[in-house]
Amino acid sequence: MKIGIIGLGLIGGSLGLDLTKRGYEVIGVSRQQKTCELAVQNQAVTEASLDLSILAKTELIFVCTPIGAILSTISKIIPHLSPNTIITDVGSVKSAIVYDATKLWANFVGSHPMAGTANQGIEAAEYNLFENAPCVITPFGSTNHEAVKKVSQIWEAIDCKIYKATPEIHDQAVAWISHLPVMISSNLIDSCINDENKDVVSLAQQIASSGFRDTSRVGGANVELGLMMAQYNREQLLSTLKKYQQNLNLITDHIEKENWQKLQEILTNTQKQRPKFID
């Protein structure tokens, strides 16, 4: 099976590495010659080009560009494709993409692999990024069932665990577990560096270790991605931010009033609940 990948960055490049390793023929498209050369050299793709017409030979195409470029990229590849070609994307938001993409191309299925690192570009691509990672497929009423099956099979072939959800449920869930954490994590770093006592900031920077590493990681990662999460999942992110602020006020209130019993109840409950999200 010939598979196309547009956008040979962290996700597109890593996908290519796992697919070529499993014997798929992978055709890559990038906007830069040096990315094409590196992708071929690293075996992330079998061949690569700046020219979208190279995708005419493919049966399934993964659009792995930044969120803001996904729809325009689909419009640009359509003139080169045969009607049976399936297109999917890897964007971290789904409602803003899936409905318009399906209007452009009936054989479109939205996907979102829940895997990543803090790095960007083809240099950041790595093998086994998707191993045991959840991948959410977001069909809705008019989505082609065969296309859903084929896209799911490819993600499963690189060891993803498939979940299906509507684009709306996906966007609400990722607002909680991915987009809100980026904003909280960024705010943590921002609040800390803006402490008025520079000696405190200086010592904090020198002694920060595992706890700060865990809680600040996503706030110190891909800026473009964080911005697009907010722009393209704005309503859901705002809703979670407001609920989070209310809850934070409650915790602040308990501490101000020295209501340790209530604080203990919250901490005991979150300790019990965390394994339901992360093993």
State the nearest-atom distance from the C-beta of 175 to ligand NAP, in Å: 14
Q: Is 121 in the site for ligand NAP (CB under 6 A)?
A: yes
Q: Is 4 in the site for ligand NAP (CB under 6 A)?
A: no
Binds ligand NAP by CB under 6 A, chosen from 73, 95, 111, 172: 73
DSSP letter at 274 equals G
Residue 98 and residue 41 in contact, taking contact as beta carbons nearer than 8 Å: no
Binds ligand NAP by CB under 6 A, chosen from 27, 64, 81, 129: 64
Binds ligand NAP by CB under 6 A, chosen from 3, 4, 5, 9: 9
Binds ligand NAP by CB under 6 A, chosen from 16, 91, 139, 167: 91
Element (H, E) at 270: helix 260-273
Closest CB to ligand NAP among 73 and 107? 73
Nearest CA to 76 out of 120, 65, 44, 98 is that of: 65
Element (H, E) at 111: strand 108-113
State the nearest-atom distance from the C-beta of 21 to ligand NAP, in Å: 18
Binding-residue pattern over the window 99 to 118 for ligand NAP, x denoting contact by CB under 6 A: --------------x-xx--
Binds ligand NAP by CB under 6 A, chosen from 3, 5, 10, 151: 10
Q: Is 120 in the site for ligand NAP (CB under 6 A)?
A: yes
- Rounded Cα distance, 27 and 44, in Å: 9
Q: Read out DSSP for 219-253? A: GGS-HHHHHHHHHHTHHHHHHHHHHHHHHHHHHHH
Helix ranges, 79-219 (H): 95-104, 145-157, 167-174, 180-193, 198-207, 210-216
* 77: region left, alpha or beta (phi > 0 left; psi from -120 to 50 alpha): alpha
Residues that bind ligand NAP (CB under 6 A): 7-12, 30-32, 35, 64-67, 69, 73, 90-92, 113, 115-116, 120-121, 124, 222, 225
